[in-house]
């Protein structure tokens, strides 16, 4: 696992290079830019790694979120546009059920071009067109938890205030029959400490729980299975 993480981090470093950015920025149009990303050897390797170990997608989402929170001089385009586009494509090819979360984050990033067009395109795909064959469990949302059930794919909650700069809660979700369905938990990068969660009435085992943003459920990872454990926000 650690070797795979190291390999993916090295790939992300290559995708941050000026060489990669220039290659994408010189594209004559959107389709050409996307084709260049797909043709890149580092992107192909990242897709392979993440398909082999779905938990690696969490690293990509953490990277996307961190980039989207960076400030950019409004006089210039974001230097992270090409990187975000590449990370979105890797997520799409590795785990379809994480695409909406990643795309919603990217749409909030300032001063981007190709990545925003790509995110908009990905969010425009109807849920029924998505692969949900790997859904393994159902999570019932509770009333009054802050997540509006009509708000699909975290379009209004992706940067919820309870997601701190050191944490990302990112299970893969899809919307169906008035419930959120959860697929394989993709991982919790930089898990919150007990101190960070003192505003919640919950028993937290930092290594064993996965969290949904803004809901009243924790997902406990137990021998590869998904179980739910209820909790409530402190008043």
Contact call for residues 212 and 156 (beta carbons, < 8 A): no
Return the HEC string of 87-114. HHHHHHHHCHHHHHHHHHHHHCCCCCCH
11 pLDDT above the threshold of 90: yes
Longest dimension (CA), the chain: 54
The C-alpha angle 199, 165, 172, rounded to 5 degrees, equals: 85
Given its phi and psi angles, is residue 184 left (phi above 0), alpha (psi -120 to 50 degrees) or beta? beta
Averaged pLDDT of the chain: 65
pLDDT at 197: 34
The C-alpha angle 215, 223, 143, rounded to 5 degrees, equals: 15
Give first-to-last CA distance, the chain, whole Å.
39
pLDDT 10s digits, 97-155: 899 999 999 998 999 999 999 999 998 864 444 443 332 222 333 223 333 222 222 22
Nearest of 52, 136, 65, 63 to residue 97 by alpha carbon: 136
pLDDT at 147: 30
Please name the residue that has the structure tokens 């701190």.
Answer: 164
pLDDT 10s digits, 204-230: 223 223 333 333 333 332 233 333 333
CA 40 from chain centre, in angstroms, equals 21
Please name the residue that has the structure tokens 């797909």.
Answer: 38
Winning range, highest mean pLDDT, from 30-34, 150-154, 182-186: 30-34
pLDDT at 216: 30
pLDDT at 28: 85
pLDDT at 181: 40
- What whole-number distance in Å separates Cα of residue 6 and Cα of residue 1? 9
- The DSSP 8-state label assigned to residue 125 in this structure reads S
Please name the residue that has the structure tokens 């059920």.
Answer: 97
């Amino acid at each position: 696992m650690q070797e795979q993480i190291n390999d993916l981090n090295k790939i992300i470093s290559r995708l941050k290079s000026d060489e990669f950015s220039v290659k994408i920025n010189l594209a004559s149009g959107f389709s050409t830019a996307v084709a260049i990303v797909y043709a890149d050897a580092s992107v192909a390797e990242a897709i392979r790694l993440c398909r082999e170990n779905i938990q690696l997608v969490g690293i990509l989402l953490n990277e996307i979120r961190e980039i989207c929170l960076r400030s950019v001089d409004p006089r210039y385009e974001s230097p992270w546009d090409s990187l975000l586009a590449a990370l979105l494509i890797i997520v799409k090819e590795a785990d379809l059920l994480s695409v909406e979360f990643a795309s919603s984050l990217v749409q909030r990033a300032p001063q981007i071009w190709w990545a925003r067009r790509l995110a908009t395109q990905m969010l425009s795909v109807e849920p029924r067109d998505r692969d949900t064959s790997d859904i393994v469990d159902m999570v019932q949302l509770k009333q009054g938890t802050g997540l509006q059930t009509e708000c699909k794919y975290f379009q209004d909650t992706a940067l919820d205030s309870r997601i701190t700069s050191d944490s990302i809660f990112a299970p893969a979700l899809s919307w169906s029959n008035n419930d959120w369905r959860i697929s394989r938990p993709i991982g919790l990068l930089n898990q919150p400490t007990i101190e960070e969660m003192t505003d919640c009435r919950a028993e937290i085992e930092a290594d064993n729980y996965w969290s949904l943003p803004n809901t009243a459920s924790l997902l406990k990872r137990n021998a590869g299975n998904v179980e739910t454990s209820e909790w409530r926000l402190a008043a």
